[in-house]
Structure 1
Amino acid sequence: MISLNLFYEKYPSTIRVHEKWIPIITDFREYIRLFDMLRCDELKSREKVFIIQEYFLEDITIDADAIMALSDFILMLDPADEQYSEEIETPRKKNLFSYTIDYPYILSGFLRDYGIDLETIEYLHWWKFRALFDGLSDDTEIKQRIMYRGIDLSTVKDKEEKKRIARIQRAIRLPAEQLSDYDIGNVFA
């Protein structure tokens, strides 16, 4: 994942495309907006490429390398990491949350745990947002939803517990078309 030590190094504001460091937009809202755009069936691939181009603060050609570099930024991958490789295949993970559907629970979790109002905060770097999101308390509603959505019912032995969890999973399930962060890199493949 990240090889930077973010205690003393700055969050990245550039990504490397064709051996050149290109400044990019880094606010968390813009990447949530990007996920929504990529899920939009009404936009053609060509239109999505034009939108992606807006994330680069210099004029560049959007090609596979540019999309891969932006995907790596979204996934918080550091190309300088010795373990990093463009050949690494990330297995498809089950999506356990949606920024759109779970918005109220994400908002309330940030307010409760950090006192951060995501609606009014002027700026929050994408990587910091992700670190804070991952660090939310296990008893926040969003973390509870993620936990229940991630339970594999085949591993639950007790019949009553399995029924209880299945009932919860049905009540909080996400629509099948949701993209996970890991799907972003494959959108234009």
Structure 2
Amino acid sequence: MDKLPTEVEIGGFKIEINKDFRQGIQFENMIKEYDLQDEKDAIKFYEEAIKLYYGNIPNEIKSEAVEKMMWFYRCGKDINTEEVESTQKEKIIDYNYDANKIYAAFRDQYRINFQKDKYMHWWEFKALIEGFKEDNEINKVMSIRATDITQVPKEQKEYYTKLKRLAKIPLPTEEVEEDMEMSNILMNGGEIPKE
């Protein structure tokens, strides 16, 4: 494996980029906060994102800085239009909502304690998530979220539809209701109530 990048080249200069996974998570949170279809919001978003990844940089290199920032965020991968379309359909992981499950998986599988191990490169973080074992709770939840109901056998559609509803990443106002519903299910032996 090549050495993980710690800087990017912008305008002919090597510029250090904030590479810790926390910046990647914060960047994703910022994406949710801004309406990127609105020009003013998009400009504010990119200004904040540039500060997050680089600190202060000259205006004349900001456009290239955004390109390099996005390249870094995508872990050096080119934009794949199929991936963009699938992520627009339904997210299968939310670093805030799923934080406890992610933390537990890192502790269980990799013996990584984010309370003690303060730094991890964004690319390493993403690679380790992709490598989660099937029996980790977060992997089970991501698998349910990724299930395409149209490809499920007819007799299992109702079951998987309910599972997906329970596992979906809620909008902020839905979180409390979803937690209560999941608690009720767990307290009743794991039975999904019939509607």
**TM tier, shorter chain?**
0.7 to 0.9
Cα distance in 1 for residues equivalent to 2:111 and 2:137: 16
Q: TM-score, normalised by structure 2?
A: 0.73
Greater RCO structure (CA 8 Å; 6+ sep):
1
Correspondence 1:153 to 2:149? yes
**Which of 159, 162, 170 in structure 1 is aligned with 2:157?**
162
Equivalent residue runs for 1:168-179 within 5 Å: 168-175=163-170
Q: Which runs of 5+ in 1 are unaligned?
A: 1-5, 79-83, 178-189
Correspondence 1:37 to 2:30? yes
Number of equivalences? 162
Which 4+ runs in 1 deviate beyond 4 A?
none
Shift of 1:167: 1.0
Q: Which residue is 2:45 aligned to?
A: 48
Shift of 1:59: 2.3
CA-based RMSD: 2.5
Higher Cα radius of gyration = 2
**Which of 113, 116, 124 in structure 2 is aligned with 1:117?**
113
Helix, strand or coil at the partner of 1:52: helix
Equivalent residue runs for 1:1-189 within 5 Å: 6=1, 9-41=2-34, 44-54=41-51, 55-56=53-54, 59-61=57-59, 63-77=62-76, 89=81, 91-94=84-87, 95-159=91-155, 161-175=156-170
Q: Which runs of 5+ in 2 are unaligned?
A: 173-195
* Percent of aligned pairs sharing the same letter: 22
Helix, strand or coil at the partner of 1:93: helix
Counting helix residues as a fraction of each chain, which structure ranks higher? 2
